[in-house]
Structures are given as structure tokens and as C-alpha cells.
Structure 1
Amino acid sequence: MTTEEIHGTVADGFEAVREEFAAFVATERADYEGQLCVYAHGRRVVDLWAGDGADATSLYGVYSCTKGAAHLVIALLVQEGTLELDRKVTYYWPEFSAEGKAALTLRDLVTHRAGLIGLDAGFSPEELADDRVIAERLADQRPFWRPGTAFGYHAYVIGALTGEVARRATGRTLQELFEDRVRAPYGLDFHLGLPEALEPRFRSVQPMAPTPEQQAELDANPTGPHTLASIAFNAQVPGAGELSDFANSRTVRAKGQASAGGVASARGLAGMYAAAISEVDGRPPLLKPDTTAEVGQIHSTGYDLVARAHRSYGLGFQATADVLYPFLGAGTFGHSGAPGSQAFADPRSGLAYGYTRRRFAFPGGAAPENERFVPAAHKAAQAT
């Protein structure tokens, strides 16, 4: 691709972000397609996209960036007192007590400490698209480690678990709460349940295309069929399909599965985090300063039993500065997604960031190009 194929605008002072985006796109595969959006102190300052057939309103499967939307709702419910983090989950959801889970608190649940990463028998594709089914099945599941003693990424299920607590407390699904309290008021292109009328804007996910060297790395490090990682990603189930197929299911998009079923543009990702921490279009921040501080406070850090690597989590969010970008402010919170998408808020600099891409990037999770875009955006935001 060439720099002439970069579309969109940047505000004065953010030209370096466009330069980094253009330099990356110029060296990327011909079929690259992605969007980059940045807010600074509630003002959109970067709005870029590239790719044949793409525009600023194109919608992509953002996988685990969905967890950020889900747990922004949980944060709002905690902020208003509807949920209490140190109450036992069973206070809201009595059936959850089965198989030694009675003492687990909501704080432990939302910080990936429950040990309920999946089912021994796994989920069918239809079950994995439905948060209510996931929650019902996991209520009876024995944890894979003693709850509260360790942590591991609840990849496909954390939104169903915390969402069930929200539903028991409010009588409404997490998807309904997100629509009414976050998406609709701000007109965000971030959907937990994509309406049929918006389907023409969805760009189907394309699978990872590793180089021969990257494929050799994958082949040299296979995941066994009954490891914690394979259970967390439902890979032990024959015929469950590839991860890259998940968002291409209309059922998944329609239901808006709260761990990985969200559909968004970069504008939607960045706009949500801007609304969380900044005044946007005359509206006050969704989160009060004390809530923002608690959301971004590291709760689980160290060796992640599922990822088998160092990870850090706040209240349902990744601790983005600790895990990926150490130059960001303490208390930065957000979530990446499997295709390479990334989204976060840095309350100290006023930066809100959103990135999408259509094709999965190797090795999955926040794509390497974010390591070029984020520093440029952060430096510019600090100067404004």
C-alpha cells in the first residue's frame, strides 16, 4: 500500500501519529485494512483509516475489546452502589455456590481469579454465543484452581459471569445496560448486539496469515487439547471452529456476547474510553475520579495461569501500562482484542485510543503496530 491510500484527518500537533500510521501501512500487506482514532481531553484529534472498501464507519469484530465495554457497565453499577465489589457473588446469584465457589467475591470474579475459565466438556458454537447459557453452565462447574488463590484469563466467559451478576442485581442484561447508558447517549459505533440494519457495514474477519518463520514458531509451541489455555479458548471441542471465525457468526454479532462478541469502529472504541474519563460534547465523564482510580488499580498481577506469561488486570480491564506500554500513566485501563485491536484510556494524559484491523495479526492480541502508534499519540496528547 502507499501513503496516498491513507484517509482521514489529524488535529494540529498530532501529525506524527499520521506519519507513523502511513509508514506502517506502506510496508504492510496489500490487503491491510484498519482504523486508528484518538481523543485528547474529550476531543477527537486523530481519525484515520486505510484499506480497499473501508471507511471511518466500517465495523469490525473487536473480540476482547468487548470486555472493556462490559466492565465499564460493571464500573457504573459499582459507582452508583447497585453492585458491591466485596460482596460474595452468591449474594446476587445463589446458584453460583456449587463446587466450592461460595466464598468468591465479585472483586475476585471481575479480576479473573475465579478459576472458571471454561467447561471440562467445552461449549458448542451456539452455546458460546449466548451469555445466559455460559453463565448457567459455569454455575455448576468446579473451578480449575482454588478461587482467589491465583488468576488466569477467562477469555470467552468473563463477560457472561459478571454480566449474570449485573442481570441478577438489575433485572437487565449487560447488553441492554450498555446500550442505554453508554452506546446510545454518545452515539457510539460500538455494539454489544449488532442490529440487522448495520450488517452491511460489518467487515468479515480474515484469519491470521503468518510468515513461514511465524508458522514455524506456532508449530514448535503447540497447545495440548486439555491445557488451561485450550479450555479457556474452547479449543478442546472437536468442530468448535477457529477463533477467527467467531465474529463472522451472525448469531454472535446479534447477541453481542460480552467477552468477545462486540462489533466496533476505532471511533467507537476511542469514543467510549473518552466518555469514561473526559467531558465529551458537554456531557460529564461517565466515571467519577474515585471510580476511575479503582478501575485502573492493579488487582491481579504476575503469572497468568492461562496465558502462561506475566499479565496484570484491573477491575475487568487490562492494566495497559504494565502489560504493554510502560510510558503511559499509572492507572491506564483498557483491553486489546485477538485480531490486533486495542483500546484504552490514560486518565493522567487525557488520552483515549482505539485501533481496529480486519486481518488477525501474529501472534494475536494487541498488534505490534500499536507500539508505533501509541507512543506518538501519547507524546502529542501530553503536549496539548
Structure 2
Amino acid sequence: MNGTVAAGYEPVREQFAAVVAAEPGLGAQLAVYRYGRLVVDLSAGMAADALTALYSTAKGAAHLVVAWLVQHGALDLDRTVSSYWPQFTGEGKEELTLRDLLAHRSGVIGVDGGLRTEELADDRVLADRLASQRPYWRPGRAYGYHAFVIGALTGEVVRRATGHTIQQHYQRQLRAPFGLDFHLGLPATEEPRYVPVQPATESRPGAGSDPTSLTAIAFNQHATPPTDLVEYGNTRLVRALGPASSGGVGSARGLAGLYAAAVTGLDGRPALLHEQTVARFARVHSHGTDLVTGERDHFALGFEAQPQRYPFLGARTLGHSGAIGAHGFADAELGLAYGYTRRRFVAGGGGGAPENQRLALAAVHAARRADRGQR
């Protein structure tokens, strides 16, 4: 294990050491920022600056962009998607608002017959396929995780409203000015730092799904062949194009820095988002059971509802996990930004790995102890 922690964050290092000791050969990274200062920077089994596929953490980056565009009046949450994107119509889709889309309520979670990797990798191609697709439930009446498609859907709204893609906005507003090692579109020059993701030791993620279920459709398991998440993340085309649903590539420093830049501020620079914007996008907008994952109260606006999964986090927390087991978030009340990456899938796949509970809790406890010590 390598890296450093600031005084008071030693328990985080202890928890990280226990995680990597319990899973021999696991490559992992952990980074924590407090009010924009790096207080935890740890790695084991991979270099601290190594990059790997972080899958749906891309959704967090994409929807930080959407939040910024709403904040600046370029997007209106209560306008219909079809008013931006006229081709997105049929079977109730024309009534869907951007707010409902961000809350995973469109019902357009995939396409009949499935999608090829080349289509999943290209948001523009994917949006064209989705525009005429029948929804799998009445839009706005229920919600379910749009695993591979939400970034293409919201991204098409962004492109038509602003003339630029989510990836372009992300590069200009976040990645470049803050120097973030998190990418929606990995340049070829950075490929030497990429370390391939590995399958779980016990099972392949996504295996065994009923091909007729909403879960299978959302995760493209009804395609021929079904999408293999390990192969998908290790495909250069996916990394190069950076699809806004599933194509995040980065390090733990980059993932934590992403949320610090947007929510708490980073390296002396103010946060990209206002407090009111963070609060607005962090509120749960889809109550009840997610039809795809089975989770309760799963989504805020574009982000997973963090306190539902991590009750020790504050109401003004934005974050999202990735299928490999990665997780990133920022708690505005604590001024804490967190990023955890691993290169091996958790058995069964899907969402943040279980160790995020103990790692994030240790970071939160350390931050609160530091606050008490200053009184």
C-alpha cells in the first residue's frame, strides 16, 4: 500500500489497508478532499495515477454539467424534452419533462433487440436509436435505472439547447480548468496509464439475467451477444468516445476532485455549483421502487440519492457509483469529496462496492472529529 493521509485521517488508511488485505490482488485507489485540500491519497496494487474504467461514474460528471447549465439558465427542468428534441415523441414521450428524464422516468431504458458496443459507445448514434423507441412504461409514471442510455438522452437535450455536447461542456467547465484526472473521452496520449479492468473472481457481472426483464433490457443483456461489462470497459472505442452514461475513465484523485471542483471548491478555486443548485439536484425525485434495480428512492436529479445508500451523508450530497464498484460523491455540508476506484469487479457486479460503506464512513468521522477539535 502506498500514499499519505493528513493528520486525523489515519483511521481511513487503516480501513483501506483492511480492504486490500481481505481481497488479495485487488488494485484500488482512494482519495478524499476536505474543502478542496487532498487529505487522503492511497493506492494498492496499482499506481496512484493509473487510470481505469469507472463506468457509470460518468453519469455524475455528465449531470454536474447539466446542473451547471440549469444554474445558468441554458436548460429549464420543467420544459419538455421534445421541445428541445422534436424527434423524441410517441406513446407519451412528448409529455416528458427534463426533470422527469433526469429522475430516470422516461421508460426508454434500451431498444428492442439490444444495442451493439459501437452504438453504446457513441451518444449521438445512441440518441438516434432511442428517439423512436417505444418506452417500456408510460413516461413519467414510474422510474427505473437507465443504465446505458441516460447520458445519451440528457446529452441530446444539452446538444440541441447549447450546440455543444456534454463531453465538450465537461472538458471546458470542469476537466481542463481544474486539471481533473477524470475523462469523458480518454485521449490516446493517456492510454499508457490505462490499466484494464478484471472480472470478479466469483462471477461475471451481468451474467444470468432473464433476457425479457427490465433489468436485462437496461443492462443490454437482451442483445446478441449480451454486453460483457469487462470487455466493454476495456474497449478503446468506449474510452475514446466517453459515453456519458457508462464511459468514465479516471483515478480516485480525479473522481474525488471532480466532485470537489463542482460542490466544495478545489485548490483555492470556488465551487462550480451554487449551494441552491446542489440542494436542488440532491433531492429525491423518484420515490418508490426502481423497476430496474429494485432499490427504494434511488434517484435525485441525475444522481443516485446518496443518503439512501449512505445514511451518514448529508442531504446536500451529490454522487454516483460505477459498475466496477467505484464511487464518488461530495457532501456540501461537510465540505468532503470522496473517490474510490478498483480494477476488479465485485462479485455480481453493479453499483458501489460494499467497502465504500466503511471507507466513506471513516472519512466522514475523521472530518467531524477535525471540526470538533477546532471548537
Cα pair 1:99 1:140 within 8 Å, conserved: no
- The CA deviation at 1:311 is 4.1
SS at match of 1:224: coil
Cα pair 1:319 1:331 within 8 Å, conserved: no
Instruction: Name the TM-score, length of structure 1 as normaliser.
Output: 0.93
Query: Equivalences for 1:109-188 in 2 at 5 Å?
Result: 109-188=101-180
Q: Within 1, Cα distance between the matches of 2:139 and 2:92?
A: 8
* Residue 273 (1) aligns with residue 259 (2): yes
Other-structure match for 2:317: 332
Cα pair 2:88 2:132 within 8 Å, conserved: yes
Other-structure match for 2:19: 24
* 1:159-214 superposed Cα distances (whole Å, 9 cap, x missing partner): 0000000000111111111001100001000000000000010111111112xxx7
Cα pair 1:98 1:139 within 8 Å, conserved: no
Other-structure match for 1:377: 363
Q: Within 2, Cα distance between the matches of 1:242 and 1:379?
A: 38
SS at match of 1:96: coil
SS at match of 2:296: strand
Identity value in percent = 57
Q: Within 2, Cα distance between the matches of 1:273 and 1:241?
A: 29
| Matched letter for residue 39 of structure 2 | V
Other-structure match for 1:33: 27
SS at match of 1:44: strand
Q: Within 1, Cα distance between the matches of 2:294 and 2:305?
A: 17
Cα pair 1:277 1:286 within 8 Å, conserved: yes
Other-structure match for 2:344: 359
Other-structure match for 1:350: 335
**Aligned to 1:200, which of 182, 192, 199?**
192
Q: Within 1, Cα distance between the matches of 2:150 and 2:233?
A: 17
Cα pair 1:125 1:240 within 8 Å, conserved: no
Other-structure match for 1:93: 85
Q: Within 1, Cα distance between the matches of 2:65 and 2:238?
A: 20
* Residue 230 (1) aligns with residue 216 (2): yes
5+ unaligned residues in a row in structure 2: which ranges? 371-375
* Residue 78 (1) aligns with residue 108 (2): no
Instruction: Name the TM-score, length of structure 2 as normaliser.
Output: 0.96
* Residue 50 (1) aligns with residue 44 (2): yes
- The CA deviation at 1:57 is 0.7
| Matched letter for residue 366 of structure 1 | G
SS at match of 2:94: coil
CA-based RMSD of the aligned residues comes to 1.5
Cα pair 2:279 2:315 within 8 Å, conserved: no
Count residues in correspondence. Answer: 369
Q: Within 1, Cα distance between the matches of 2:330 and 2:287?
A: 19
* 1:272-303 superposed Cα distances (whole Å, 9 cap, x missing partner): 11111223222111100110110111111220
| Matched letter for residue 34 of structure 1 | A
Cα pair 2:284 2:297 within 8 Å, conserved: no
Other-structure match for 1:262: 248
Other-structure match for 1:3: none
| Matched letter for residue 199 of structure 2 | P
* 1:86-107 superposed Cα distances (whole Å, 9 cap, x missing partner): 0011111111123331110000
SS at match of 1:145: coil
Of residues 172-181 and 324-333 in structure 1, the stretch that sits farther from structure 2 once superposed is: 324-333
Q: Within 2, Cα distance between the matches of 1:127 and 1:71?
A: 21
5+ unaligned residues in a row in structure 1: which ranges? 1-5
**Aligned to 2:238, which of 232, 245, 252?**
252
Other-structure match for 1:8: 3
* Residue 318 (1) aligns with residue 310 (2): no
Q: Within 1, Cα distance between the matches of 2:168 and 2:292?
A: 30
- The CA deviation at 1:374 is 0.8
Q: Within 2, Cα distance between the matches of 1:282 and 1:41?
A: 9
Q: Within 2, Cα distance between the matches of 1:258 and 1:206?
A: 22
| Matched letter for residue 232 of structure 1 | A
Other-structure match for 1:62: 54
Other-structure match for 2:96: 104
SS at match of 2:159: helix
Other-structure match for 2:373: none
Q: Within 2, Cα distance between the matches of 1:240 and 1:224?
A: 11
- The CA deviation at 1:340 is 0.5
**Aligned to 1:341, which of 310, 326, 349?**
326
Of residues 201-210 and 362-371 in structure 1, the stretch that sits farther from structure 2 once superposed is: 362-371
- The CA deviation at 1:338 is 0.5
* 1:206-262 superposed Cα distances (whole Å, 9 cap, x missing partner): 11112xxx79xx99xx42111111111111112244112111110000000110111
* Residue 305 (1) aligns with residue 291 (2): yes
Q: Within 1, Cα distance between the matches of 2:261 and 2:278?
A: 12
